[in-house]
Amino acid sequence: MNNNGNGISVIGIDPGSQRMGWGVIREKSGVLELVACGIIRPKAEAFSERLGCIFKELQAVLRQYSPQEAAIENVFTHQNALSALKLGQARGIAVGACAAQDIPVIDYEPTLIKKSLTGNGRAEKSQVSFMVGRLLNVKETWGEDAGDALAAAICHLNMRRLNKLTGKG
């Protein structure tokens, strides 16, 4: 928890070079609250320009909502090496944007995120999004990428609580 009694806010990030989901959640006294979420959709054709757009837009989100920590989904193995490389570069841009704002970044495997919310590490995106809505007590009004980002933030807050209870954090 931070020292001002307002709990902690975490940004979850679902990396992607064409769509990057983000979601900010605040936890205070064990209660989760949705602050904001969205999807960054760079319009540029050139890959380097898309990465620049993602960096700038994510920096604006970080400045606006001032999260204290970030949770980001690890890159899963792709059958297509080029797709995996592009995803890794987009993920690196997101990590760099957080690091530039002095926000610690914690990585989570997609299966851990899904399991922490649904009990099933292979859950469908619709199941994950449904649980995110339940845990935040809001109707689902976000796209899959934002839902995955919110799931990463919730997973992080769950792991943070668990580590605190077990003396690991």
Q: Active-site residues: which are they?
A: 14, 73, 145
Q: Identify the three-state secondary structure at position 4.
A: coil
Please say whether the beta carbons of 61 and 11 come within 8 A. yes
Please say whether the beta carbons of 35 and 153 come within 8 A. no
For residues 84 and 75, give the distance between their C-alpha atoms in angstroms, rounded to a whole number. Answer: 7
For residues 169 and 161, give the distance between their C-alpha atoms in angstroms, rounded to a whole number. Answer: 8
